[in-house]
Structure 1
Amino acid sequence: MATRRTTTKPQKNTPPEPAVCSPCDGSGMVAATVRVGRKRRPVGQQDGICLNCLGSGTAPDA
């Protein structure tokens, strides 16, 4: 009787998930405090692009 050959399927090579940027938590935007007046008192916040990941949301070192 002939032997049956069994082949295994190769494992799918899925790329790892990109790491999330810690200063912006993956959103790409960070809050910057707005200061006005001679004494430079804070009056609010505005959104700005994250300078660590440049708005991509992924960690630059990963």
Structure 2
Amino acid sequence: MATQRTTTKTPKSPVPVPVEPASCQPCGGSGMVPVTVRVGRKRRPVGQQDGLCLNCLGSGTDPDA
């Protein structure tokens, strides 16, 4: 005759749902921010170019989250 089980298995903990990381505020998650280009002796603004976001260092995710 087979032996009977007297204890029950413990339920496995549920798998945590991966949370999407929050996007960086200054760059909006792109990792790039507009930087004004200035030229001339009076340093007049000519245009803008893309620069690396110094808050998230180009990753696009919020470092404080």
The count of corresponding residues between Structure 1 and Structure 2 is 55
Q: Which runs of no fewer than 5 residues in structure 1 stay unpaired?
A: 1-7
CA offset at residue 10 of structure 1? Answer: 5.3
Out of 26, 45, 64, the position equivalent to 1:61 is 64
CA distance in 2 between partners of 1:9 and 1:51 (Å): 42
The structure whose Rg is larger is 2
Equivalence for 2:19: 16
Matches within 5 A, 1:17-56: 17-56=20-59
**Divergent runs of 4+, >6 A:** none
CA distance in 2 between partners of 1:51 and 1:15 (Å): 26
CA distance in 1 between partners of 2:23 and 2:56 (Å): 9
CA-atom RMSD in angstroms: 1.5
Deviations 1:13-38 (A, max 9, x none): 11211010000000000010000011
Q: Which runs of no fewer than 5 residues in structure 2 stay unpaired?
A: 1-10
TM-score with structure 2 setting the length: 0.76
Q: Report the residue type matching 2:56 in the other structure.
A: C
Identity percentage of aligned residues = 75
